[in-house]
Amino acid sequence: MSDFVSGFWNIYVVGLVLISIIGCAVFLWSQSSAKHVAGQTTGHVWDEDLQEYSNPLPSWWRWMFYITIFFALFYLAMYPGLGTYEGQYKWSSVGQYKGEMQKAEEQYAPIFKKFQSQDIRAVAANSEAKEMGQRLFLTYCAQCHGSDAKGAKGFPNLTDSDWLFGGQPEQIKESILKGRDAMMPAKGVKPDLNGDQIKDLANYVRSMSGLASDSIRAQRGKELFGAACAACHGPEGKGMVGVAPNLSDKVWLYGSSEEVIIETITKGRTNRMPAFGEFLGDAKAHLLAAYVYGLGGGEKAPVAAPAAAPAEAAPAAATAGEPAAAEKK
Ligand code: HEC
Ligand code: HEC
């Protein structure tokens, strides 16, 4: 109602509502003076001799209608319904939503805060955090990664130890906060590859992970790979975290059949993990990172030397985990 730009519509709505209610009341009142006249009919005849008596409404019936009118007036005085009038209770759906959100915030913020200050590895070991993380995951992440986090075509499996952007707790958190983009250009860095050469490459890619391939084609593909693909996937196709996936393992984002690999090389692939930092905030992302890390695929020791060194991380996890466990009792 507050969307009206012109005050006219407010008056129009208020007028229409009041006139209808008052109109009903006046009509009912006019009926109360109707007298019972024995044998008087409405004059309508159906099926040759079926007639309708013209009797006044029974008064219990009329009073039920009066009660609905009183109720309507009371309701309109208390709740919004008359144009832009807010009602005595000042209720609004937006206000109710905000109130509920604030209540939830007051209730959960301290719990989120408690976990936010702990190391992700320690949070991952806490069963209360795991439950909260799972609920968040099912709400915000499952539509893409699946409710079991095992992913689908184009959406990575988060439970295995194969990471496109790193399986360290901090790297996982960064994936959630900032999102990730991946772009495989069509035909790699050699836009002049022809169909036959692409087939050779696909055979070579399959041979890298031990899948059946035509060995002559694979041999020719290997030479092309160095020029067209190695810049991102590495000379042996082992990939690089944050650059391009490992092609020599058994994990496939799009599929391992020759047909799908040819499609990947011919058309390229683009993929995006949306950034959740602004929407969820750091505390929830922290819990989610712990949940994902705790699914089992998280790397136990850093590979590239991110924030925490392995020697520090393990005892930190142990000590940070204890107070959390103690608090639960
Ligand atoms: C709209 C679909 C979508 C949603 C929703 C989504 N993701 Fe993703 N996520 C992706 C895609 C696609 C990728 C791969 C991105 C790429 O390759 O650039 C990805 C990648 C990731 C990665 C990195 C995986 C790796 O191998 O390094 C993590 C971690 C992750 N998502 C966690 C989450 C979490 C936690 C949530 C819930 C807050 C979430 N995602 C919600 C689509 C989604
Ligand atoms: C500019 C860097 C870059 C180059 C060059 C490149 N790729 Fe990729 N490739 C990627 C990225 C990034 C992905 C992941 C795309 C995604 O997540 O959607 C990818 C994905 C793939 C996949 C899909 C893997 C899967 O798990 O399904 C195949 C196959 C592949 N590349 C083969 C090749 C071949 C063959 C070449 C050479 C012709 C090549 N790529 C050149 C960056 C590159």
What pTM value is reported for the model? 0.73
Question: pLDDT tens across 280-310, in order?
Answer: 999 999 999 999 999 977 666 544 444 444 4
Asked whether the domain spanning 182-273 has the same topology as the one spanning 111-177+279-302, the reply is: yes
Band of residue 55 on the pLDDT scale cut at 50, 70, 90: confident
**CATH class given for the domain over 182-273:** mainly alpha
Long-range Cβ contacts of 4-9 (<8 Å, 24+ apart)? 4/84, 9/83
**Cα–Cα distance, 80 to 98 (Å, whole number):** 17
The architecture that CATH gives domain 111-177+279-302 is Orthogonal Bundle (1.10)
The values of phi and psi at residue 114, to 5°, are -60, -45
Q: Which residue has the higher pLDDT, 194 or 4?
A: 194
pLDDT in tens, 232-261: 999 999 999 999 999 999 999 999 999 999
- pLDDT, averaged across the chain: 87
**Residue 269: its H or E element:** strand 269-273
Mean pLDDT for 268-282 is: 94
Question: What lines the ligand 1 site, CB under 6 Å?
Answer: 140-141, 143-145, 155-156, 158, 163-166, 172, 175-176, 180-182, 271-274, 276, 288, 292
What percent of the chain clears pLDDT 90, i.e. is strictly above it? 71
- 232 Cα–ligand 1 center, Å: 21
For residue 183 the two structure tokens come to: 């772009």
Q: Where are the chain's structural domains?
A: 7-34+41-78, 111-177+279-302, 182-273
CA of 230 to the centre of ligand 2 (A): 10
